[in-house]
Structure 1
Amino acid sequence: MKTPPWPPRSLLGRLRRRDADALLDLGTPVSYPAQQRIIRQGDAARYSLLVLHGAVKVVVDTERGRDVVIAVRGPGDLLGEMATLEHRPRSAHVITCSAVQARIIRSTELADFLARNAETCLAVARMLSERLRSADRRSVDYVVCPAPIRVVRVLLDIVQQHGSTTAAGWEVGVPLSQPEIASMAGTGLSTVEKAFRRLESEGVLGRHYRRVLIIDLPGLRRFGELPGGIPY
């Protein structure tokens, strides 16, 4: 069976064909419908999930009773590997944004595979390092950037990781609601609504229910004050 082209920033996208195929041979296939909680915060970590199709959101319950969306993952991404490898409880929920196909990989199976496969182990380390760097950058954004700019940067992150090109522009690729985007940007829903209205009036994006189309990607970068990439 021909292996599909995985997003380059996903774990499978970082691997050579033979290593990706070896990882895909692990575990057992599973399917989930949209809006299903497939990993629960606080549970014991007995397995990891390798996403093959669809998208999920990573959500944390806070002590103030508010759910916070901290990340979106898609095809080629590995989920739950930190708790699995550390033998610690899950640190977040994982909820499907759309129908998802994945492989469940038992903790011992993943650990044994990484011990035998140095290239994949290094790719996992690089993936985790990039996620940490992204979290650090977002922490800086919370301090130095106005809320509308944070909204735009969240959109840019999502489209760079999960977007696809169409004749009309870039499809964001993940069905996120405006409250979920507000949660990722650390701001209120009204700020997202105002930012979207301005971007629409400037011809930068178009939107439908839970779908966003980036019509002018360079323009979106200018709104996010990132014409030349991340400044730090």
Structure 2
Amino acid sequence: MELNQKPWPKTSLLGRMSARTRAGFLELGTAVTYGARQKVIRQGEESHHVLVVVDGIMKVFVDTEFGSPVLLGLRGRGDLLGEMSVLERRQRSANVMTCTAAHVRLIKSAQLVNFLDRNPEAWAAMAASLSARLHWANNRRAEFVACPAAVRVGRVLAEIAGRHGVRTAEGWDLDVSLTQAEIASLAGVALATFEKALQQLHRSGLVRRRYRRIVVEDLARLARFGANDRRNPYQYGVDYGDVAQS
């Protein structure tokens, strides 16, 4: 069911598997198609299955006690969703909603565990995928303490563009159906702070704003934005005195 013939992203679960193991994994479960903006996993529900994304983009977010949802990340081709609650046998810890129309394999918990037990390579791929996710979360936590808002916003935009953006004549289009409030929460800043950081990135020639979307004009420079240079920490226009926190 490889509807999209592009190579699987190397950082995804399927991208970490050999062709043989991946083919076997994609035979598990049932093929399901979801429309855009459809909630496919609900926080607090019992865990009975996982989803592997064959095509499309999904967002993972949590409902907080203060009423504002917080975006935890995006998942795309080759990524697995819901595996942590299944393996730990607990309720869902987050919501998952489609950003675009998505094709997935819905795999029952017993099928997943049985396949992993019969395929050590698949276990290794899942462990590496979870480790990478933990590493990403640790980096985000460190950045929240150490980096100015503009740097955090820039890095989040670069990651979204690099993994999920669409290349156009203008640059990389972040047309992934995310609101600015959602991107702000992913960067760990308030919406007003996000707006201010976006203006700074625009003045630096790194991003351009279009109607209800953002275009990254120079992805390579944006990825380097705010990189530490002991001789000149302001080399990319980052004013450390202008660190507005959420």
Q: TM-score, normalised by structure 2?
A: 0.85
Residue 117 (structure 1) aligns with: 119
Residue pair 2:49, 2:82 contacting (<8 A) in 1 also: yes
Residue 30 (structure 2) aligns with: 28
Residue 57 (structure 1) aligns with: 59
Which runs of 5 or more residues in structure 1 are unaligned? 228-232
> Quick one: distance in 2 between partners of 1:158 and 1:170?
10
Residue 95 (structure 2) aligns with: 93
Residue pair 1:176, 1:210 contacting (<8 A) in 2 also: no
Q: SS state of the match for residue 207, structure 1?
A: strand
Residue 230 (structure 1) aligns with: none
Residue pair 1:9, 1:161 contacting (<8 A) in 2 also: no
Q: 1:156 to 1:102 in 2, by over 3 A?
A: same
- Partner amino acid for 1:214? V
> Quick one: distance in 2 between partners of 1:194 and 1:7?
32
> Quick one: distance in 2 between partners of 1:226 and 1:6?
32
1:210 deviates by 4.3
- Partner amino acid for 1:68? V
Instruction: Work out the number of aligned pairs and report it.
Output: 227
Which of the pair has more CA radius of gyration? 2
Root mean square deviation, CA, Å? 1.9
Q: 1:7 to 1:164 in 2, by over 3 A?
A: farther
1:194 deviates by 2.0
1:108-147 aligned within 5 A? 108-147=110-149
Q: SS state of the match for residue 176, structure 2?
A: coil
> Quick one: distance in 1 between partners of 2:228 and 2:162?
13
Select 1:75's aligned residue among 74, 77, 89: 77
Residue pair 2:39, 2:97 contacting (<8 A) in 1 also: yes
Select 2:104's aligned residue among 102, 105, 117: 102
Q: 1:164 to 1:226 in 2, by over 3 A?
A: farther
> Quick one: distance in 1 between partners of 2:93 and 2:41?
10
> Quick one: distance in 2 between partners of 1:24 and 1:167?
35
The ranges of structure 1 where at least 4 consecutive aligned residues each deviate by more than 6 angstroms after the TM superposition are: none
> Quick one: distance in 1 between partners of 2:227 and 2:212?
25
Residue 221 (structure 2) aligns with: 219
> Quick one: distance in 2 between partners of 1:57 and 1:30?
17
> Quick one: distance in 1 between partners of 2:74 and 2:174?
12
Residue pair 1:31, 1:100 contacting (<8 A) in 2 also: yes
- Partner amino acid for 1:130? A
Select 1:203's aligned residue among 199, 202, 205: 205
Q: TM-score, normalised by structure 1?
A: 0.90
1:173 deviates by 5.5
Q: Deviations over 1:126-183 (max 9, x none)?
A: 0000000111111111111122211111112222332354444333463322111111
Residue pair 1:54, 1:100 contacting (<8 A) in 2 also: yes
> Quick one: distance in 1 between partners of 2:205 and 2:177?
21
Q: 1:120 to 1:167 in 2, by over 3 A?
A: farther
Matched-pair identity in %? 49
Q: 1:52 to 1:198 in 2, by over 3 A?
A: same
Which runs of 5 or more residues in structure 2 are unaligned? 230-246
Residue 237 (structure 2) aligns with: none
